[in-house]
Amino acid sequence: MNYWLMKSEPDCYSIDDLAAKSPAMWEGCRNYTVRNYFRDTMQLGDMAFFYHSNSDPCGIVGTMEIVSAAYPDPTQFDPSSTYFDAKSPIEAPRWVLRDVSFREKFSRVISLAELRTIAGLEDMHVLRKGQRLSVMPVTEAEWTIVNSLSGLRD
């Protein structure tokens, strides 16, 4: 099993939105590294932290499960979508997505500032300077530590 951290701005799509309608497509990722994670590394049953970015405070707010194989992101073909990509042909789609399913909302936000103070999380991708990926791997040890901070069990 792999573990992930997946970011979304809560005013665009929040953990409450996922809880209200789950499973849901995790669409709109337009970064080749993220595309490769979705296509090549992520697996059915993997778990992910839901991270609210660009909020006050930003941080981990819950968990979700990867519940589909990778498939073409339909928003790349929709000219009315923010995520439209005119250079992505239908016969050879450039972008893929995964469906995710809500698992748990934490009772509190585990903020980025707090994560920076926790022993064992020093190498966590989200804490690295200049890290801007919306999807990134999390180690099993990091997964366990963060879940222990939430007061929830794996």
pLDDT for residue 152: 54
CA atoms within 13 A on the CB side of 52: 22
With a pLDDT cut of 90, the percent of the chain lying above it is: 94
Residue 90 sits in which domain range? 3-146
On whether residue 112 sits in a domain, the answer given is yes
Beta strands per DSSP E along 17-129 = 24-26, 47-52, 59-66, 71-72, 96-111
On whether residue 151 sits in a domain, the answer given is no
pLDDT for residue 19: 97
Integer Rg of the chain from CA: 15
In contact, 154 and 144? CB cutoff 8 Å: yes
116 against 150, higher pLDDT: 116
Residue range 74-112, pLDDT digits in tens: 999 999 999 999 999 999 999 999 999 999 999 999 999
Mean residue pLDDT of the chain comes to: 94
On whether residue 19 sits in a domain, the answer given is yes
Residue range 105-136, pLDDT digits in tens: 999 999 999 999 999 999 999 999 888 889 99
**How many residues does this entry show for the chain?**
154
Which residues, 6+ apart, have CB-to-CB distance to 146 below 8 Å?
49, 60, 110, 115, 121, 138
The total number of structural domains in the chain stands at: 1
On whether residue 152 sits in a domain, the answer given is no
| CATH code of the domain covering residue 123 | 3.10.590.10
pLDDT for residue 153: 42
On whether residue 153 sits in a domain, the answer given is no
d(CA 53, CA 75): 21
* Residue range 15-33: mean pLDDT, rounded: 96
3-state SS class at 106? strand
On whether residue 123 sits in a domain, the answer given is yes
Q: In terms of pTM, does the model score above 0.75?
A: yes
